[in-house]
Amino acid sequence: MIRNTEKLHNLLNDVRTYVRERWHPLENTVEELDDVPESIVDELRERGFFGWSIPEEYGGLGLTTEELVLAAFEISQASVALRARVGTNTGIGSEALVADGTQIQKQRWLPLMAAGKLTGSLALTEPEAGSEATNVQTTARLEGNHYILNGQKRYITNAPIADVFTVVARSEPNSKGSSGLSAFIVERGTPGLRTGQAYKKMGQEGAPVSDVFFEDCRIPAENLIGGQEGVGFKTIMKVLNKQRLHLAALCTGPAIRMLDLAIDHTQKRQQFGQSVGNFQLIQAMVADSQTEIYASKSMILEAARARDEGKDVSLSASMCKYFASEMCGRVADRAVQMFGGAGYISDFSTIERYYRDVRAFRIYEGTSQIHQLNIAKLVLRNHSGL
Ligand SMILES: Cc1cc2nc3c(=O)[nH]c(=O)nc-3n(C[C@H](O)[C@H](O)[C@H](O)COP(=O)(O)OP(=O)(O)OC[C@H]3O[C@@H](n4cnc5c(N)ncnc54)[C@H](O)[C@@H]3O)c2cc1C
């Protein structure tokens, strides 16, 4: 749903121009520094980029799902690290509060997240809870007016720089699977909370990822999201259903950018007395990539509109995330091919970095295999009328 066409048009134009003029020249620096410069983070705060998905009453833009994915197509047409700086606040790091937080919790944290004064992060994955996300071992024990958290979270985006963590922990001892899980807000600085060293990764330099440790970490009982125990996994599924559409859009922007770069290169590069872009075998890669980008955009927009209409998008969100992340990998591979040797050499092109950056899309927020299983499960359930 688009609430105000002109306002949205202005936002998209602003993002498009900003990404091209400000971010594209910075991509190498961000990779070398393995950090997004604070001056850029200040610009993102001033432009309101941190608050896209946070409701207006809490200082955000309150974008609808359709508006959010349209903005995500634009902001993701640069190195992943740049959009990842705001990405947890506009997605997994704030959404549990938006979906299920109490009024008091929303008022306390969302305005600061919308303003970019606090960086949020979602800590679900653990050493023994990856694809089996319900196998959470982190415990939360109620003691008077506090919960005591113990456990370890793994591969948490923005953990090294986050101020506020949404943490999933087992509040019901001896429970199994999704029952007995609760979601909490934990603030940096709470004794017993520690983040690990940022990992060395295959790509996405500048988007820090680390472990998070809880060692008798004592948090006020009022930090239980929604004030209700045992519903943490339901909250996280709400977060992920929306986030899968958001992430699918964030997988589509890099594909658009890679194809642009590859077309430019093939038009300039001369072999056999002409641009390599004249060769039909190169044009086939352009056609396949453009077709898949179009398919990705179309399905994401349709699912986003359905979500805005209040429809259940569990199946379509899963299909979008699966298709868009795999599509982006295929476009990355073709783009390297269209660049030839220059696509493999980072001194000659940014395609080598994109190729590495986008590889993670097929792994996080549900691997492709988990989405295949989920899609099949939902289709087969509908098929048998159960
Ligand atoms: C860069 C990065 C950032 C991340 N950010 C976050 C974050 O911010 N917050 C967070 O909570 N998590 C985050 N994650 C974790 C991410 O969601 C997990 O890595 C992902 O869910 C996969 O879990 P795993 O790594 O344990 O893989 P595993 O579950 O060990 O999977 C290994 C392989 O087995 C396959 N597999 C597993 N089960 C099945 C099955 N039943 N059938 C078929 N195949 C199967 C998988 O598809 C995969 O190919 C991040 C990960 C990365 C790499």
Establish whether residue 128 lines the binding site of ligand 1, counting it when its CB lies within 6 angstroms of any ligand atom.
no
Establish whether residue 148 lines the binding site of ligand 1, counting it when its CB lies within 6 angstroms of any ligand atom.
no
Q: Round to whole Å and give the CA distance between 190 and 215.
A: 11
Report how far apart, in Å, the C-alpha atoms of 42 and of each of 86, 112, 243 are: 11, 14, 25
Nearest CA residue ID for atom 27, ligand 1: 130
Q: Round to whole Å and give the CA distance between 213 and 171.
A: 17
Q: What is residue 181's three-state secondary structure?
A: strand
In the numeric block, which tokens belong to residue 348? Answer: 């000659």
Closest residue by Cα to residue 122 from 104, 145, 99, 146: 99
Q: What is the pTM of this model?
A: 0.97
Please report the pLDDT score of residue 196 as a whole number: 98
Give 131 Cα–ligand 1 centroid separation in angstroms: 5
Establish whether residue 364 lines the binding site of ligand 1, counting it when its CB lies within 6 angstroms of any ligand atom.
yes
Burial zone of 256 (CB within 10 Å; 0-12 exposed, 13-18 middle, 19+ buried): buried
pLDDT tens across 54-63, in order? Answer: 999 999 999 9
Top mutation candidate among 364, 373, 374 for ligand 1, by most atoms within 8 Å of CB:
364
Return the active site residues: 365
In the numeric block, which tokens belong to residue 322? Answer: 């699966």
Please report the pLDDT score of residue 12 as a whole number: 98
Please report the pLDDT score of residue 383 as a whole number: 86
Atom of ligand 1 nearest to the CA of 373: 42
Top mutation candidate among 125, 202, 357, 365 for ligand 1, by most atoms within 8 Å of CB:
125
Please report the pLDDT score of residue 167 as a whole number: 98
Give 150 Cα–ligand 1 centroid separation in angstroms: 22
Establish whether residue 2 lines the binding site of ligand 1, counting it when its CB lies within 6 angstroms of any ligand atom.
no
CB 208 within 8 A of CB 159: yes
Atom of ligand 1 nearest to the CA of 370: 47
Please report the pLDDT score of residue 354 as a whole number: 97
Give the Cα-Cα-Cα angle 359, 362, 363 (nearest 5 degrees). 95
Q: How many CA atoms lie within 13 A of 384 on its CB side?
A: 6
pLDDT tens across 3-46, in order? Answer: 999 999 999 999 999 999 999 999 999 999 999 999 999 999 99
Across 135-140, average pLDDT: 98
Atom of ligand 1 nearest to the CA of 204: 1
User: Residue 384: pLDDT above 90?
Assistant: no
Please report the pLDDT score of residue 385 as a whole number: 62
Helix 232-268 to helix 314-339 angle, to the nearest 10 degrees? 30
Give 209 Cα–ligand 1 centroid separation in angstroms: 14
In the numeric block, which tokens belong to residue 18? Answer: 């900003």
In the numeric block, which tokens belong to residue 210? Answer: 């680390």
Give 336 Cα–ligand 1 centroid separation in angstroms: 26
Establish whether residue 367 lines the binding site of ligand 1, counting it when its CB lies within 6 angstroms of any ligand atom.
yes
Q: Which residue has the tokens 């179009």?
A: 294
pLDDT tens across 160-217, in order? Answer: 999 999 999 999 999 999 999 999 999 999 999 999 999 999 999 999 999 999 999 9
Atom of ligand 1 nearest to the CA of 368: 47
Q: How many CA atoms lie within 13 A of 200 on its CB side?
A: 0
Q: Round to whole Å and give the CA distance between 356 and 295.
A: 23
CB 201 within 8 A of CB 126: no
In the numeric block, which tokens belong to residue 298? Answer: 């179309």
pLDDT tens across 106-129, in order? Answer: 999 999 999 999 999 999 999 999
3-state percent helix, strand, coil for the chain, nearest multiple of 5 = 55, 15, 30
pLDDT tens across 283-294, in order? Answer: 999 999 999 999
Establish whether residue 84 lines the binding site of ligand 1, counting it when its CB lies within 6 angstroms of any ligand atom.
no
Give 155 Cα–ligand 1 centroid separation in angstroms: 9
Residues with Cβ within 8 Å of residue 89, at least 6 apart in sequence: 50, 51, 54, 113, 114, 116, 118, 119, 120
